[in-house]
A and B are shown apart, each in its own frame.
Chain A
Amino acid sequence: MNFLRYLSFRLLGIVIVLLIIAVVTFALFYLLPSDPARLACGRPCTDANLEKVREYMGVDQPWFVQLVEFLKGILFGRTFGSTVTVECDAPCFGYSFLRNASVTDLIAERFPATASIALGAAILFLVTGVLGGLIASLRRNSVIDRGIMVFSIAGISTPVYLAGILVILIIGFTLRWLPTSGYVPFEDSPIEWFSHLILPWVAVAIVSAAVYARLTRSEMLEVMSLDYIRTARAKGLSEGRVIARHGLRTALLPVVTVFGLDLGVLLGGAVITERVFAIPGMGSLLIEAVGAVDIQLIVGLTMFAAFLVVTLNLVIDLVYGLLDPRVRMG
């Protein structure tokens, strides 16, 4: 019961946050001096044509009316124009007039690639990072510990694209059977999908695993010196059980928190990685949109990214509640 109340409270909070994000994003992109209608109007762009395009795109309205239309579009879909109409089904994140496609369709087309990079990389760096940090903390000040820590400070300082290029040079060009660019959808060929993503995953993981290795190490060192660990040892539990069930479980809580906060960074990392490995994902879509000043697409994409990350944050918060009894009870 308590959990349900907590959940509904959080859901309400999320809706408010999403609304604020929508208002800010919208205001930002529509208050600044740029005229999407003029860009979409084509040549020659007469004043009469421009007016028509403005009306068609709905940018003749004040920005808050446009915002309400946009939000209604996400929930119910919307229709552009009155005689010749363009349908944009719910959830409609806007319509790119430059590409003649709804932003939702464009995202649906490009999102799987980005999500594949982010998801696989997250699994890889969480496993290697936590494992590395754990080993380093158990062998404190040993050669292994120093090695892992040197590797991780280097990893943290490496931009993800440099890591990507290094991975291509070192792994891709020596092991010639691994593709170094492009993307194959999972539905087309799971094996090709996997082999195309190995290098991007490694590239993102090199950088992020370092963060989690450092974090896990320092948390483990702190937790393992606490009284309840001594109690656990004193009552005769095996060292492995003390580490896994008592130490690591507590030390992982901040790791989960940081992971939740890092989702935005992860998305950003995937965006950059796409560029290095020539993967047609959301990042390349966004950069193309920026290049073409396709404001509708840009607004739709940023809004979608923000919604996605904020919602996933909530999910991770709830997982956190499941892991930590103190939160669950409180």
Chain B
Amino acid sequence: MTTTTAVRDDLAVPTRKTGFRTLLGKLARDPWAVASSTTIVVFVLAAVFADQLTGITGNDPYTYHQDLLDAKGQPTGWGGGIGADHWFGVEPLTGRDLFAIVVYGARTSLFIGISATVLSVLIGTIVGITSGYFGGWYDRIVSRGVDVMFGFPTLVFLIALMAIIPADVPRPPFIALVIGLFGWPGISRIVRGQALALRERNFVVASKAMGARSWRIVLGQVLPNVGATIIVVTSIIIPGMIAAEAALSFLGVGVTPPTPSWGRTIGDAVLWVRTSPMYLVFPGAALFLITLAFNLFGDSLRDALDPRTARR
């Protein structure tokens, strides 16, 4: 069937090979991307279905099982009391189920990590796009501020801020908020660079010439074009956010008991490491694995989106 069209074939814009489907295809061919995304999915599922998962053995992360401990508070049995009822054994001194603690810890970790990331990406994107696109004195001031915040002793400030949190404020959202508020300068810097380059592109200039308003260009032209960058940055900063929460909890100023947190459990486990090493191994491995998975996935994503930086 032949149809006559006004548009000549040779003038058609070639289909870009950077669509979502192509991206997925590239990732599916990358064994690292597959392995890391599978790990992430497993952790997310564990966090979401923590109730059902721990329901299998009927344990929760709060109930004490003193009967499983010896006189010194050590779990009895092999590997810290690993068995059919307690897959990861039990916690020394309290006898709480370690599997439940690790699974609910994933919930705490991922909740704080992801919400802090969302907040950071939001602020970073808004600040980055506006300062890159509008430029001028606004950009100069913002960029200077970003420079300063970028090299800031963030952890010191995070620890300090934990002192002034009112007792009636729930800790996890507060921690997510504070970590998120300190995490955006890196994103803003990258997004700004992109917005700066996009400002000079023909399609943006054309929109401007046709009388489009600034906010329309920013939302309709600039934002979609920095989308890929934002996605990569998001996957790269999540592990940092998770690590920040874990570090605060490890230091004893983060998530307070009894809310499970990998960082705090690792901090407690240090004292028992010679007699009950499994107490350290499970939360430690969980934290390491999720961080590694996000890092690897971020790398793969960046390579898939930007072949110039491909390294494998």
Contacts and interface: CB of A to CB of B under 8 A. Distances in A.
Interface residues of B, number: 42
Chain A contact patch, size range = 35 or more
A268 B160 contact: no
Contacts of B250: 159, 161, 272, 275
A290 to B, nearest CB: 4
Interface stretch (A52-60, A85-93, A237-245, A306-314): A306-314
A188 B118 CA distance: 49
For the complex, would chain B's binding face be called helix, strand, loop or mixed by DSSP majority? helix
Contact of A309 (B152, B161, B162): B152
B53 interface: no
B270 A153 contact: no
Contacts of B267: 161, 275
A261 B146 CA distance: 11
A264 B284 CA distance: 24
A206 interface: no
Interface string B245-275: 0110011110000000001001100100110
Contact of B251 (A21, A153, A173, A287): A287
B273 A268 contact: no
A306 B152 contact: yes
A251 interface: no
Given A162-B266, A165-B273, A268-B154, A302 B160 contact: yes
B11 interface: no
Given A272-B251, A290-B163, A157 B239 contact: yes
B24 interface: no
A204 to B, nearest CB: 13
Contact of B157 (A169, A293, A302): A302
B288 A305 contact: no
Given A17-B144, A306-B157, 12 more contacts: A32-B166, A157-B288, A157-B292, A218-B311, A260-B151, A261-B150, A272-B250, A276-B270, A287-B159, A290-B253, A299-B160, A306-B153
23 contacts: A34-B164, A153-B295, A154-B292, A159-B266, A159-B291, A160-B247, A161-B247, A161-B250, A260-B151, A263-B151, A267-B153, A267-B155, A268-B153, A271-B251, A286-B160, A287-B159, A291-B252, A295-B163, A298-B160, A298-B163, A302-B160, A306-B153, A308-B153
Interface of A: 13, 17, 20-21, 28-29, 32-34, 153-154, 156-162, 165, 168-169, 173, 218, 221, 260-265, 267-268, 271-272, 275-276, 283, 286-287, 289-291, 293, 295, 298-299, 301-302, 305-306, 308-310, 313
